[in-house]
Structure 1
Amino acid sequence: MIKCNVTINGIVSRTASMRTNKEGKSYIGFAVKTTIPAKAGGCKQVEIFVSKDGTDAELPSYVAGQRIGLKGVLTFRKREENLYLNFHAESVDFLPENERDAIEGTIKFRGTVGKQVEKKRDKRGNPYWVFSAFSTEKHEENFSFTWVRFICFTAEKDGWLHPKA
């Protein structure tokens, strides 16, 4: 399980519509595009599906092309080779202070550490740890694995940080 408490700043890419979940509860659904840093100083645009409790009266507020800020919980779902980013918004800011695309917050990861845990040093000689870990998710009869690369900026190795045997 990968769960993140984050703030997202991005552009509405699909106009909002009312949807219904499996339990029959209605919610507002729309998509937001934002840019995240990638390797070698580049950037990658990602699309995030957003759900938010709300009513029909709120739909006109979510217009494609509009910049918004969102606070809530981001989860990752993997189906075959596709990775989906799903976000449940707790609050929406239609006039965000910052015009910069961003996803910022904390991650809660439940999974297994990979086979390598490396201690490295930055340019100033400060130690840090680099490792990969994966989370497993079952969908129907199939399992999918999502790998995440972590960098831990502490000098001491935490007790839970051991490579898989």
Structure 2
Amino acid sequence: MIKCNVTACGTISSSAEEKQSKDGEKFISFGMIVPLLGKDGTAKEVWVTVSAPGNKETAASYSAGRKVTVNGVMYIRKHDGNIYLNLRTDSNIEVNESTTNDRLEGSMEFRGKVSKKGIKELKDKKGKDFQSFAAFSSDKEGENREFTWVSFVNFSPIHEDYFAAEKYVEVHGDLQLGIFKGELQIECKVKSIAAWDLNKTTDANGTAQTAQS
């Protein structure tokens, strides 16, 4: 699971439409583009699917070409090899001037498995220790399972048995979306790491030092 609390500002790419949930509740949905620039100079337009409370009347306010800011919960999933960003908001959607800066930023809650390569112990230019690692979250559609990778950097190193190669962890931190060679890179600056107990569905909010392995 990759769940993010975000603020997204971008341009509506497909006008809002009224839809209906399985429970019969009406809501609106539209597509939004947020352009991102990578450190290597390459760029990519990231597509975000937005859903919000509303109906045909409110949908008319969100037509293609308008710039808007949306605050809400965004899930990152992979399907058929493509990464999807699905943003749900219960707040008012702000219509902006066309000159408003594009952005997609916020916090991340991640549950997944550390890669086989484990944890890298590194030093920055000032000689301060930090750690980097990659981990994946899996999504299952029917019989197919797909994996979304996230690159993490941890500036408060920890050394616990549950924080190692092929261990399941829950990580909280700052979402950092980047572009490299024109492809979306999902990154996170770590604030806390805990063991993820697959038998529990509640959040583990403790830091690594206090979590139960």
Alignment of 1:86 with 2:86, yes or no, is: yes
Say whether residues 1:110 and 2:111 are aligned partners.
Answer: yes
Q: Is the 8 A contact 1:133 1:147 kept in 2?
A: yes
C-alpha change, 1:35 and 1:128, in structure 2 (3 Å) is farther
Q: Deviations over 1:85-110 (max 9, x none)?
A: 111022211137x8221111110101
Confirm whether residue 3 of structure 1 aligns to residue 34 of structure 2.
no
Letter in 2 for 1:72: G
Gaps of 5+ in 2: 168-213
Identity within the alignment, %: 36
Moved over 3 A (4+): none
Give me the whole-angstrom Cα distance separating, in 1, the residues matched to 2:125 and 2:90.
40
Partner of 2:38: 38
Question: Paired residue for 1:151?
Answer: 153
Q: Residues 117 and 5 from structure 1, CA distance in 2 versus in 1: closer, same or farther, beyond 3 angstroms?
A: same
SS at match of 1:58: helix
Q: How does 1:2-151 map onto structure 2 within 5 Å?
A: 2-91=2-91, 92-95=93-96, 99-115=100-116, 116-151=118-153
SS at match of 2:40: helix
Which 10-residue stretch deviates more, 122-131 or 28-37? 122-131
Partner of 2:173: none
TM-score (norm 1): 0.89
* CA distances 1:49-102 after superposition (whole Å, capped 9, x unpaired): 110011222122102111111100111222221221111022211137x82211
Matched residues, number: 164
Letter in 2 for 1:109: F
What is the Cα deviation at residue 35 of structure 1?
1.9
Quickly say closer, same or farther: Cα 1:44–1:58, change in 2 above 3 A: same
Q: RMSD over aligned Cα, in angstroms? A: 2.1
C-alpha spacing 1:43/1:161, structure 2 compared with 1 (3 Å): farther
In structure 1, C-alpha distance between the alignment counterparts of 2:38 and 2:28, rounded to whole Å:
30
- Kindly provide the CA deviation profile for residues 92-138 of structure 1, in whole angstroms up to 9, marking residues without a partner as x: 11137x82211111101011111221122222333221110011112
Residues 112 and 61 of structure 1: is their aligned pair in 2 closer, same or farther, counting only changes over 3 Å? Answer: same
Amino acid at match of 1:162: A
1:60 maps to amino acid: A
* Residue type of the alignment partner of 1:144: E
Report the CA distance between 1:24 and its aligned residue. Answer: 2.5
